[in-house]
């Protein structure tokens, strides 16, 4: 299974955000379920609409729509909103470092 290393902290020190420790230097795998935390109004609206649980569908070291920065493609999980019922689950690219709308955290098991 393909994985990618990423993080905000060069030293790998986890940042505590409530009940979910944030990903810093760690391994993310395809089809892994993650939690999105909002950092902006746009992020809060998307999480409110589609939920906080997302699944990793693709990874790239250079995403053109994100100015060539490393990122992951996430897809919402079991979203009951009308948009997702009509067109399928919402998907979006999120920067691995310094995304302005979201922070990716590991799902608490």
| 49-95 confidence digits (pLDDT tens) | 998 999 999 988 887 777 778 889 999 988 888 888 888 888 889 98
Q: Is the full-model pTM beyond 0.85?
A: no
**Among candidate residues 100, 95, 77, the one with its CA nearest the CA of residue 23:** 95
What pLDDT is attached to residue 27? 67
Range of the domain at 83: 3-106
**Among candidate residues 52, 54, 50, 72, the one with its CA nearest the CA of residue 63:** 72
For the range 61-64, what are the long-range contacts, defined as Cβ-Cβ under 8 Å and sequence gap of 24 or more?
61/4, 63/93, 63/95
Task: For 84, list phi and psi in degrees, rounded to 5.
Answer: -70, -35
- pLDDT band at residue 101 under the 50/70/90 scheme: very high
What pLDDT is attached to residue 109? 64
At 1-48, the pLDDT tens digits run 444 444 443 333 343 444 333 443 356 788 999 999 999 999 999 999
Q: How many domains does the chain have?
A: 1
């Amino acid at each position: 299974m393909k994985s990618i290393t990423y993080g905000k902290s060069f030293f790998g020190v986890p940042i505590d955000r409530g009940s979910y420790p944030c990903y810093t230097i760690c391994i993310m795998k395809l089809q892994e379920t993650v939690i999105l935390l909002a950092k902006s109004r746009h992020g809060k609206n998307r999480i409110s609409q589609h939920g906080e649980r997302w699944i990793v569908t693709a990874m790239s070291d250079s995403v053109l729509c994100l100015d060539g920065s490393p990122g992951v493609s996430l897809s919402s999980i079991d979203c009951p909103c009308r948009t997702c019922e009509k067109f399928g689950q919402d998907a979006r690219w999120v920067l691995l470092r310094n995304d302005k709308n979201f922070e990716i955290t590991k799902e608490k098991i």
